[in-house]
Amino acid sequence: MIRSELIQKIADENPHLFQRDVERIVSTIFEEITGAMAKGDRVELRGFGAFSVKKRDGRTGRNPRTGEAVEVDEKHVPFFKTGKLLRDRLNGA
């Protein structure tokens, strides 16, 4: 499902809301999650999962084309851990 499909589904299930309001709601949710993660906070949606940020230390990597050693800087990457209810539902429990 892509963002526009999510917006359309929410709008269809809530005819009392205007499409532009649903778009604003979905955008606000994503912006808040992104903003919290940018500050290093963890975002937990009970029953769905938790978004967090993990730090990857700098290291010496290898250029696959030339085999030359290159330094890779440390970086922060998003991480998602599924919640128990989602995991159970995916596994048919």
pLDDT, one tens digit per residue, over 18-53 is 999 999 999 999 999 999 999 999 999 999 999 999
8 Å CB contact between 39 and 32 = no
Share of the chain above pLDDT 90, in %: 97
> In this predicted structure, what is the pLDDT of residue 92?
86
* pTM reported for the whole predicted model: 0.78
Q: Is the pLDDT of residue 93 over 80?
A: no
Backbone angles phi, psi at 52, to 5 degrees: -145, 175
Distance CA 23, CA 29 (A): 10
| Region 55-70 average pLDDT | 95
